[in-house]
A and B are shown apart, each in its own frame.
Chain A
Amino acid sequence: MNWHHVLTIVGTNLKRLYKSRDYWIPLTILASLFFVFIPLILLVLLSNSPTTPVLTQIGEVIGTLPDQVQNNIRGDSPGTRTAYAFAVYLLAPVAIIVPLTISSAVGANTIVGERERGTGEFLAHSPLTEQEIYIGKLIGSLIPGYLATIVGFALYSLIVNLVVGPQIGGWFFPTTGWWILIFWVVPPFIAMALSVVLRMSARVRSAAAAQQASTLVTLPIILLSYAVSTGLVYSQAASAFVVGLVAWILAYVGLRSGMKAVKRERLLGVASEA
């Protein structure tokens, strides 16, 4: 495989995305909403609220968490403890839903879009191998979602430390579980989702159909990742590492088999089975 070719595809894809403001502005808003605005509002309200019936109810929910988790929750007041629990445990799925949504949205259009625009004809007649096209499209779709996650994660960490930190004696975030989640578990989950989304994108007839199909197909992965991410931040680092490893293996298998979906006749739009 010629990595120079792959990087050319990746660079062009990212440049096109950057130029398509109609496309990336809503995705940025989505990421900002989940990583910045919602956490900020929630944490400020919880940290500064006196004891209310709502806080009491949330406290009862937190009381159902495993003892080990409850022991780790820091803070003196119910508001602080609730804010801490929210920041560390309850908002974890955001870290995985946002990149999956963004990468799926980008990936769904990436191959069928070539066909719809007619640029697939150029790719089909080019010396690029199908593998190079696939890997280029994969990385080009993965980067926007993961980049949004890294930036969002940094902002989220800042917000959590600034809002909740002073009440529990200083900066405490990210915790070990979050580090593992962001850098070890999230990437294979994005890759897993993309292995399905790119396969759809190569097979369907239009970008609109690709978007709809990818939403349906990635929904189970999003639900799975929601559950996994929630569980991971409660669990030991070792088990989180194992979950990440399994996710990497599944992602590799999915990507290997998904590679076959990119065919020159599909780029030309003449595949009878498309």
Chain B
Amino acid sequence: MTHPVGAAIQFSRVSKSFGPVDALRQLDFEAPYGSITVLLGPNGAGKTTTVRLTTGALNADAGSISVLDLDPATGGTEIRSRCGIVPPKPAFYDELSGWDNLQFAARIFDASDAAAREAAERFDIAHALDQEVGGYSTGMRTRLALARSVIHDPEVLLLDEPTAGLDPESSRAVLELIRELAGKGRSVVLCTHLLHEAEGIADQVVLMDSGEARAVGPPLELAGRYMADPIVVFDAEDRAVLHQLETSSGVLRLSWNGSVQATLDDLDRLPDLVTDLVNAGARLTRVEPLRPSLEDLYFEMQRAHREAQ
């Protein structure tokens, strides 16, 4: 699918308060068309408020928002008809069947019953559509919520903590949906505090805390920005000999966590370090340059922010 160039979602210095609580403080970020953007942050970071402002369910106090080239404050109805959403705790009319709930959504989004049936089959919930939703498990409810979110083939999909409380199978279904939709050129925004969830699927990460975007960019770019120094994991049969690294030139930091993670000033130091350790009698069992995970990145960014303050 071809899609416009530019940002599907654009937040520019957006602020939102609830009474004395500042939920968002001059939030800036862009979610490009056809990309997966992960809003990453702890509870209370402002992720849900960001989603609610995106669809125009809430209005910003200050700043400007553009979604699909529309302003949610004035074009909210059209934006909402082109967005799909999976809220953190999907709620349904429990006394009605899964089908009744899906049909309700289909009619509101002007989608057909066939589209509702297809969405249910896609998320493997079609077999339970005759049952009352009140009897569904958490996983079934999430599958139904996923089906409901794509019933109208949305251009933007907003998933707010979609895997909270889910079994691994259902979590995987969510991540598969995200990849599939992005593959079709849809724009996906995933809110999560689970770092492993964002790992590997994020085209762009927005690290949020206290209503602010602390860092925005592709994971690799952020890794280069915040974790420029390479890390190498060492392990040996006799770990005591690894203490020698503490005095080796080019080693900036060491952290012990079973094995040893050494932060180097340059990866070209590695052959010399290995030679020195072997000469000192070390029988090395692991020497592995570490590609920083999103978790490493997250904590490094948090550390950098604290230091900057």
User: What residues make up the interface of A, taking CB atoms closer than 8 Å to B?
Assistant: 4-5, 8, 12, 15-16, 19-20, 117-119, 121-122, 124-129, 264-265, 267-268, 270, 272
| B180 is an interface residue with CB less than 8 A from chain A | no
Interface class of chain A by DSSP: helix
| B19 is an interface residue with CB less than 8 A from chain A | yes
Q: Is the CB of A264 within 8 A of B108?
A: no
7 tightest A-B CB contacts, nearest first: A118-B91, A127-B81, A124-B57, A19-B95, A8-B107, A127-B80, A125-B85
**With contacts A4-B110, A119-B91, A268-B57 known, what are 11 further pairs, Cβ within 8 A?**
A8-B104, A118-B89, A122-B85, A122-B91, A122-B148, A126-B109, A127-B109, A129-B77, A264-B57, A267-B57, A270-B18
> Are A270 and B109 also in contact (CB < 8 A) when A117-B94, A119-B92 are?
no
Q: Is the CB of A12 within 8 A of B19?
A: no
Residues of B within 8 A of A126 (CB): 80, 105, 108-109
CB distance from B230 to the nearest CB of A (A): 44
CB distance from A41 to the nearest CB of B (A): 35
> Are A20 and B95 also in contact (CB < 8 A) when A12-B104, A127-B81, A265-B58 are?
yes
> Are A125 and B57 also in contact (CB < 8 A) when A20-B95, A272-B18 are?
yes
Residues of B within 8 A of A268 (CB): 52, 57-58
Residues of A within 8 A of B19 (CB): 272
CB distance from B146 to the nearest CB of A (A): 13
> Are A16 and B93 also in contact (CB < 8 A) when A126-B108, A129-B77 are?
yes
Interface residues of B in 89-122 (CB under 8 A from A): 89-96, 100, 104-105, 107-110
Q: Is the CB of B100 within 8 A of A12?
A: yes
Report the Cα distance A272→B16, complex, angstroms. 12
Residues of B within 8 A of A12 (CB): 93, 96, 100, 104
> Are A16 and B80 also in contact (CB < 8 A) when A126-B109, A264-B58 are?
no
Residues of B within 8 A of A5 (CB): 107-108
Q: 22 A-B residue contacts at CB 8 Å? A: A5-B107, A15-B96, A16-B95, A20-B95, A117-B94, A118-B87, A122-B87, A122-B91, A122-B105, A122-B148, A125-B80, A125-B83, A126-B108, A126-B109, A127-B78, A127-B81, A128-B108, A265-B57, A267-B57, A268-B58, A272-B18, A272-B19
Report the Cα distance A118→B91, complex, angstroms. 5
Residues of B within 8 A of A267 (CB): 57
Q: Is the CB of A125 within 8 A of B77?
A: no
Report the Cα distance A5→B109, complex, angstroms. 9
Chain B residue nearest in CB terms to A118: B91
Q: Is the CB of B87 within 8 A of A4?
A: no
| B37 is an interface residue with CB less than 8 A from chain A | no
Report the Cα distance A267→B94, complex, angstroms. 18
Residues of A within 8 A of B15 (CB): none
Q: Is the CB of A127 within 8 A of B96?
A: no
Chain A residue nearest in CB terms to B57: A124
Chain B 105-141 interface 0/1 with A at a Cβ cutoff of 8 Å (1 = within): 1011110000000000000000000001000000000
Interface residues of B in 22-58 (CB under 8 A from A): 52, 55-58
